[in-house]
Amino acid sequence: MVHNDYKEMIPAHALSALDAADERVLNEHLAECAECRRDLSEWERTAANLALSAKPMEPSPQLREKLLTQIRSEKTGIVRAEKSVSERSASNVIPLGRPSRNLWHSLGSLGSIAAIILFAALLVSVFMLWQQNRELRRENEFFQLINAPGSRVAELSGTSEATGASAKLAYDKTGRAYLIANGLPRAPEGKEYQLWYIVDNKPLPGKTFAPDHSGRGALNDQVPEAARGSATFAVTLEPAGGVRSPTGAIYLRGEL
């Protein structure tokens, strides 16, 4: 295929109207061709104009408040998390970080040292219990799905990007799905892993997740009906929040 063949496909790509095979070859070309990427941006601007041919309509006034309430709660969640981290580090780090000559004065007695050690041990235990609880919840959810009537389980293996990684995807007949992944490298800043359902070579986007420090990750999702009978499942590394068409390397792959 020559350069002009790709250029001719771009307007249809901007309307996401390309068939899966064409889309795949064009995406491969776009990854290497800056000129065509610029062209695509131009065509996307043209395509966006079509939105203006729809009648403008007013959503319900409650939606604005609902949206703002949700972002406020997310914001508060972040502030609380940051505050709790800073408070925790303050209680742990400041006393121990002081020069040793002041330490004995500030601690007063061996009893205080024991109390601090006990407190630190308690924090570690609480953290470990929280982790175990999270693992148990994940496993419980996974086993519930496996035991549901008509459920299916797909095993995904690590590709050359993550040879030690593996995952299991369980879903029931309604498409309710749960993925547990192990051994994934930590996602870089601004990136997350995204699940894909590939039907007839067309990738349908799933949700994203970020593994913890031990490489374990999990997510709830809904398998599209087209993918429930037979499909290939893949996990790629993508910009955080996910994308509509895969752009990153495949880390896990498997099929039913």
Partner 1 sequence: MKAIAAQDEAALAQLYDAYRVILFGLLMRILNNREEAEDVLQEVFLQVWRRAADFDENRGRPFTWLVTLARSRGIDRLRSLAARERVAIAGTRQESEAVSDAASDAFRSEQRGLVTNALAQLPDEQKRPLMLAYFDGLTQTEIAARLGAPLGTVKTRMRTGTMKLRELLAGKGESFGF
Cβ of residue 253: shortest distance to partner 1, in angstroms?
22
Cβ of residue 37: shortest distance to partner 1, in angstroms?
9
The residue among 180 and 199 lying less far from partner 1, judged by its C-beta, is 199
Q: And the tokens for 26?
A: 């064009």
What are the distances in angstroms from CA 42 to CA 50, 96, 195, 252?
Answer: 14, 58, 29, 34
The residue among 28 and 42 lying less far from partner 1, judged by its C-beta, is 42
- Cα(167)–Cα(147) distance, integer angstroms: 18
- Give 162's contacts (C-beta < 8 A, 6+ positions apart): 183, 184, 185, 251, 252
Angle 2-3-9 (CA atoms, 0-180°, nearest 5)?
A: 100
Binding site for partner 1 (CB under 8 A): 8, 11-12, 14-20, 22, 41-60, 63-64, 66-68, 70-72, 74-75, 78, 175, 190, 204-205, 222, 224-226, 239-241, 244
> What is the DSSP annotation of 107-141?
H-SHHHHHHHHHHHHHHHHHHHHHHHHHHHHHHHH
The residue among 16 and 157 lying less far from partner 1, judged by its C-beta, is 16
Cβ of residue 42: shortest distance to partner 1, in angstroms?
8
The DSSP secondary-structure symbol of 50 reads: G
The residue among 8 and 155 lying less far from partner 1, judged by its C-beta, is 8
The DSSP secondary-structure symbol of 184 reads: P
Cβ of residue 128: shortest distance to partner 1, in angstroms?
30
The residue among 2 and 52 lying less far from partner 1, judged by its C-beta, is 52
The residue among 180 and 187 lying less far from partner 1, judged by its C-beta, is 187
Cβ of residue 230: shortest distance to partner 1, in angstroms?
15
User: β-pairing, 217-222 with 166-171?
Assistant: unpaired
- Cα(1)–Cα(114) distance, integer angstroms: 73
Q: And the tokens for 161?
A: 């990007």
The residue among 22 and 161 lying less far from partner 1, judged by its C-beta, is 22
Cβ of residue 223: shortest distance to partner 1, in angstroms?
10
Give the DSSP H/E element, type plus range, for residue 30.
helix 20-32
Cβ of residue 70: shortest distance to partner 1, in angstroms?
6
CA dihedral defined by 66, 220, 210, 205, rounded to 10 degrees?
-90
